[in-house]
Structure 1
């Protein structure tokens, strides 16, 4: 293979996929529709949140792959992980379908599946930890980009108030786009917080795993496929759910969103199929 062909192959491995551009187009169009009051606001919020959530999942997995590339795993490009194409990830069900279902069912930003990193190509425990930490850090950055404008009041638009259970909240700083940003930001924080738990199968465990003994890693390995499902089952327990969301709302306050009603109204708008 010639040098030019090699360069072209690498360029194709890192070219942003049309699928990701479509997600961005849906995100931008639905955001404009919600902001301008065009169409059904609740369905617009639904599209905005789902598209934004999928975009963040793509960026989450891309961060893992990109960090792995710099860590020594040169195979991530050939696998399509650097194209931001959601269809290229190892498990579509775990990476995208289940997280979206969890958002719809419980308003929880449960982290999704994975990219397959060839760990034997990467030397050094710190590099392995950084690869695992890269995804949750992306969620934290997304949360900041979404929540800081909400906390600062940059998106407030009294001209397009939220309608809640048939009553207009006119005169209040709750516009549909503000609430959509807040709810999507809440999902980002919940995903980051959950993913940083040191539970097998989640990134938090991937951060600490390189520092554990070989015997401990071998003992924990069989439980990795069930870690995420176990966490989700625990979140259905009212006491655990309440404690978790108290923590998430506490983090939102750190980003300047002191009024929990923004995210709550965003979640209500998101569920357009309910009265």
Structure 2
């Protein structure tokens, strides 16, 4: 008797009501920023936060704290993976790279209007918010690809390590995000990182000045 996979109900794949509300908030706040309705800075705040949470969705608290305090996008959506049930090192690597690829997809989607030369002089607050959201996706993409244990970039390298090195890797992995945070606290590392971010942003068509304006609107309490 051959084994037949059980049918999975469609309801399992339906997005939750909360997620749909976040998508709606992203759309409405984007329209409000576009049209200049109400308090523009608050609209940009909602637009950026809701767009960022939609892109992360799973693990939002730690990245949101960084977003509010420092205006930097941290990797999110941490998922536990049972490596024992994955066959093949290449598959393990591809699974680990799924998170960064999502960030890159959002990055390309948000930066596309600027790359194609959209006129940002009209609805400037909206475009500033979108540019800042693209900037966050860029920072998250780069940080997610960092070759640090516990971060997706490091996890992508793990299958190719020897058993001895994997044991050391697994011991450090739970502290990977803290290690990443500590590195970003260094002025030298932070300076190099943001130079790289702005350089890549300029290369792909993201206006750095507009992203900075979006950050200023987003962090309205600092003005």
Bin of the TM-score, shorter chain as denominator length: over 0.9
Contact in 2 for aligned 1:155/1:177 (Cα 8 Å): no
| Number of equivalent positions | 218
Report the CA distance between 1:113 and its aligned residue.
4.9
SS in 2 for 1:273: helix
TM-score normalised by L of structure 2: 0.92
Question: Which residue, out of 229, 252, 256, partners 2:178?
Answer: 229
Match of 2:209 in 1: 261
1:110-189 to structure 2, matched below 5 A, reads 110-154=74-118, 156-158=120-122, 160=123, 175-189=124-138
Report the CA distance between 1:155 and its aligned residue.
5.2
Match of 2:12 in 1: 13
Contact in 2 for aligned 1:155/1:178 (Cα 8 Å): no
Q: Provide structure 2 residue ranges, at least 5 long, that are not aligned to the other structure.
A: 1-5
CA shift in 2, pair 1:232/1:253, >3 Å: same
Q: Distance in 1 between matches of 2:83 and 2:172?
A: 19
SS in 2 for 1:123: coil
Q: Distance in 2 between matches of 1:16 and 1:113?
A: 16
Question: Which residue, out of 100, 104, 116, partners 2:68?
Answer: 104
The CA deviation string for residues 15-65 of structure 1, in whole angstroms up to 9 with x for no partner, is 11112111100100000000000011111111111111111113xxxxxxx
Q: Provide structure 1 residue ranges, at least 5 long, that are not aligned to the other structure.
A: 1-5, 59-85, 87-94, 161-174
SS in 1 for 2:79: coil
Higher relative contact order (CA 8 A, sep 6+): 2
Instruction: Please report the RMSD computed on the Cα atoms of aligned residues, expressed in angstroms.
Output: 1.5
TM-score normalised by L of structure 1: 0.76
Q: Which runs of 4+ in 1 moved over 3 A?
A: none
